[in-house]
Each structure stands twice: as structure tokens, then as C-alpha cells.
A and B are shown apart, each in its own frame.
Chain A
Amino acid sequence: MQVKSNNYTGVKKWVDERLPVFSFVEDNLTNYPTPKNLSYFWNFGSLAGITLVIMIVTGILLAMQYTANSDLAFDSVERIMRDVNNGWLLRYLHMNGAHMFFIVVYIHIFRGLYYGSYKSPREILWMLGVTILLLMMATAFMGYVLPWGQMSFWGATVITNLFSAFPIIGESIVTFLWGGFSVDNPTLSRFFVLHYLLPFAIVGVVVLHIVALHMHGSNNPLGIDVKSDGDTIPFHPYYTVKDYYGLGVFLIFYLGLVFFAPNFLGHPDNYIPADPLVTPAHIVPEWYFLPFYAILRAVPDKLMGVLLMFSAVAVLFILPWLDTHKVRSSQFRPYYKQFFWLFFVNCFVLGWVGAMPAEGIYVTISRIATAYYFIFFLVIMPLLSKFEKGRVLPSSIASSVLSDKFESAPDQSFAK
């Protein structure tokens, strides 16, 4: 067998010939060629990875203090808050870390949507990303159940009951999920186990996500391919420094929440112990589920509502085949750009009506917003792929970086 030669000497050479740790780091991190025009929107991938690590570390430490039993869970969380050394810090880091994780990942996804990062040859990269999102949603939902407060209990009840909408097998699925006839101790203990397990599944998919990314490298704000070495710079030190800076800004925001408003994004009802006999007046999911919750409630039929809500995530999987326009970046797609921003605002509208009671004007708004959510993907994207005439693309990343320096209005220079 031919041994891959390396340029190292001594121990480094000996090790690398047996386990390619040094050449791996060099190929994938330090010398890894990266487009030279990446903006700060490209920070959110590494931020998501760092957040995942923070969640796993704080989560493992919390699991050492937490008791997954319906009689003890609530009190064990209060014990973490009051008696465990820095327990309050652990829990607030973990709780707000979940919020930050979704903020970072949603920005990451919108960036992908805006710059066409899901297009050929990055379809599988995108689909792996959607898989991560799904796993994150399941993990976050089950994590929210663990403190066994009122919102935990009733959130678990409402969400697991979604499966009862399926004809014939629905009831058996729900009983199976619960391990009983209501959300109770068996439900709590399995949710805890899965909440501990799934993050490691996420780590696995993240590794695949990065392998797929490194096949063709990062997309970039221009959305054009890297054509020569002149278009790239090594990841280290240029992007390690940029990522570090972004991390600093991220931490100010994140720790600002942890130290000054740790319960800002939470719900006070979850500090009331779970009571199977009393449903809180307003059951509202965490903010990151609100747009999907709004879609669920927009439909008067139970089964259709559930199917539509699942479709709202599922549609992302086939996105690369709905938008087949050759131009990736919205910068060169004047019409797509407008529909994209409308879609962006629409997601916030969905989130807002998802938090409102399902009556009166809110129902109407949620129906219009739900309609646009799906029309954007299923009608506008295929139509624009066919009829939109993109602007003229710059000849290379390097040339556009240079023209940035010499011309005051680079956008128009591309247009001609």
C-alpha cells in the first residue's frame, strides 16, 4: 500500500504516516482555501458549532444534578438553582444557550436562502442542515419538558397529541410515546434519555455537514464558483480571526441575556410545578416554534393542520429542486430578492400570530401568512427559476474584490 507522503520530519512525520492528524488539520482548518469575500453572515456556521459544544458541556454537568422522575424533577431543578455551586449559572447558560442556538441557526438558514447556498453542488449539504434543524427541534422540545413545570407538562401534552390526528393508528402512537395513558413519569424518563442522546446524533450529522461542505468549499456573497487561487485565502489566520471576533460579539449578547435577563425568553408559568388537572390559560410554545405553531392553528381541520405544520419543515428538504435558477446569490436576482425579504418578514408575522390567541383577526392573518409561506416555496421559486433574468455575474471573486476598491458603485458595474 502506498503511504501518503507528507512534508513533516521526526515524530510529527512518524505520527502523521500512521494517523493523519497534522495533515488533516492543515487540509481542513489552517490551509483550507476559503473564498476571500465572505461577509459576517458566514460566521454563523462556526457559531452554531460552538453553541452546540456549550450546550453539551453545560448539559452533561446539569444531568449530574438533575433527577428524571415526575415526583422529583421540579425540585431537583430548584435545587440546582439554589444549592448547587454555580448551578444557577449552568442552568441559565443551558436555557439561554438553547435560545441562542435557534437564533444562530435561523440566521444561518436565512443566509443560505438569500445566497442560494443550497444549489448544486451543495444539495446534500443543505439537506443535512435541515436534518440538524429537525433534530434540534426534537431535542429542544424534550429538553423543555424536563423541568416538569406547567408549560413543560402541557407543552408535552399538546405536542404529543398532534400525533393523535393520524387516522386509525394515531391513538396507539400517542400511548406508545407516553408509555401510559397520559404524560407521566414514563414519558419524562424517556424524554430525558432522548434529550441526552440526540445532541450526540446532532454532532454526527454536523460532522457529515462539514464533510459535505469541504467537498466544494463555502459558497460566498457573490454566489460564483472559486476559479483560481487568487479567489481564496487560507482559513487560518484570516477566518479564524474573523470567527473569533464574531464569537466575542455573540458572547456579549448571549451572556448579556444570561446575567441580566435570564428569563426574558422563557415563560413564567414554567415555575409552577406540573399539574395534570389544570391547564394554563395560554399555552404558548417557545418562540422558535411559534411560526410552525401558527401554521398548525391556521387550519380548522386537525389532521390537515398537523400535516401542514410538518410540511413547513419538510418543504426545505426539496428546496434545491424547487429553485433551479442558475444564479445563486440574490444580489444578482432582483425579483427573487424582493420575494425573499417578503418571506423573511412573513416568518416574523407567523411568529407573532403564533403567540396570539387563535381568534378573530389573528386567524385571518395566520391564514394569509401560511399561504405565502407555501406559495413562496411551491409557486414563486419554480416560476422565478423559469422566468427571472439574472444580472450579469462578475467574472471572478478576485475581480469583484478589486473593482470594489476602484469603483464607487460596484453593483452597477456588474449590471452592464
Chain B
Amino acid sequence: MAKKIIENKYQESTETKIDTEKRDFLFLTTGGLAIAGGALTAWSLINTMNPAKDVLALSSTEVDLTPIDEGQSLTVMWRGKPVFIKHRTQIEIQEAREVDIDSLKHKDLDESRVKNPSWLVVLGVCTHLGCVPLGQKVGDAKGDFGGWFCPCHGSHYDTSGRIRKGPAPLNLEVPPYEFVSEEIIKIG
């Protein structure tokens, strides 16, 4: 007899008294924690593919401007990308400043793109798909606006590095830089 009672009690506890609220709580908290843990683990793994510290450490370059005469250009590497440094002539500065700002695709004043009007510093990377535009060397095609011309898909940039014609959506990017002295700039 005693044995039967125990059996009944056992059945009762498993079949009739399931605390569903408690089960839902356990299920949701366990599941939630597993998802959060999984996402954190995944991110720490995925993040290994982002730029490493040594890559980030190469992020500044100093350039001496003295050898660049008026009208000349220099290309330097910064973060694996070419930077165009252009010693602009008075005519080129004038051209860049006389443009009607409303006619531009990416509206930006020349004044806000330079620290010293004689020196234009821009990334030599076309904002369309990343080619290096022509126009740094003597004899290069400079495009319809006297600045640079991208041979890949035909974007034309003016003497302020602004997009004037072609598929590129934005002006050539101005990298962060400062004049360390009159003749030396530090990019990055």
C-alpha cells in the first residue's frame, strides 16, 4: 500500500504541477544569455579582421614642402593611399574660388578645403570606386576643370579637388593635416 501512494505522489508532481511560468522564465533567460554570449564571442572573432594596431600606428606622415615649386605637385603615401599635395598658382586658386557654389554636385567652399590657399592637400583616391586620378605629372590629362581626371570611369575634379563631372558622388577627401612649421606638414 505504501508503495502505491509514493507512486501516486510521483505522478502528481510530474504531470499535474508543472510551473509553466517558471519554465518560460528559465527558457527565456537561458536563451537570452546564450544569444548575448554568442554575439559577444562572434564580435570578438569578427573584430580580429578590422585594422590591427600596427596598421593604425602608421597613421601619420610628415612632408617637407620646400622642394615643391609653384605649379608642381607631389604624391606621398599615407595609410597605404596616395595623398596629392598641390602647390597651386594664383590662377588655379582664383579658378577654385570663383566657381558658383550652387552649381557644384558636392557643395564645398575652397576656403574650407585648405589651410593655406597655396597648398591643396587631398587624398588621391577617386570617390567613385577608389582609382587614383591622373593629373599629378606633367603631361597627364587633368580633365575639363584643370585638376584631376579619373581614367576608370571618367570623373573630372577641379583645382580644389571638387567633383565637377562624372559618376563620383563626392569631392576628393581632405585628410586631417596640420602645418608643423611654414614648410612642413604632418598628415594624419
Contact = CB atoms under 8 A, between A and B. Distances in A.
Contacts of B151: 279, 281-282
Given A276-B80, A277-B82, A154 B50 contact: no
A157 B80 contact: no
Given A158-B130, A179-B49, A283 B79 contact: no
B129 interface: yes
B131 A283 contact: yes
Interface in A169-208: 175-176, 178-184, 186, 190
Interface string B42-56: 000000011110010
A292 to B, nearest CB: 14
A267 B52 CA distance: 33
Contacts of B130: 157-158, 160-161, 164
A265 to B, nearest CB: 22
A302 B167 contact: yes
Nearest to A162: B129
A356 to B, nearest CB: 12
Interface in B104-129: 124, 128-129
Nearest to A190: B49
Contacts, number: 75
Interface string B120-149: 000010001111110000000000000000
Given A157-B130, A279-B151, A181 B81 contact: yes
A179 B52 contact: yes
A161 B127 CA distance: 9
Contacts of A407: none
Interface in A18-45: none
Looking at chain B's contact residues, is the secondary structure mostly helix, strand, loop, or mixed?
Answer: loop
A179 B152 contact: no
Contact of B80 (A158, A180, A357): A180
Contact of B167 (A164, A281, A300): A300
A181 B128 CA distance: 16
Interface residues of B, number: 26
Q: Which of B50, B79, B129, B133 has the most CB of A within 10 A?
A: B129
B51 A181 contact: yes
B32 interface: no
Contacts of B51: 175, 178-181, 186
B169 interface: yes
Contacts of A178: 51
B79 A279 contact: no
A358 interface: yes
B75 interface: yes
Contacts of B131: 154, 157-158, 279, 283
Interface string B149-183: 01111100000000000011100000000000000
A157 B81 CA distance: 11
Interface of B: 49-52, 55, 75, 77, 79-82, 124, 128-133, 150-154, 167-169
Given A158-B129, A302-B167, 12 more contacts: A161-B130, A162-B129, A176-B49, A180-B55, A181-B79, A181-B80, A182-B79, A182-B81, A277-B82, A281-B151, A297-B153, A358-B154
10 interchain residue pairs of minimum CB distance: A182-B80, A181-B79, A161-B130, A279-B131, A158-B129, A161-B129, A279-B132, A157-B130, A180-B55, A184-B80
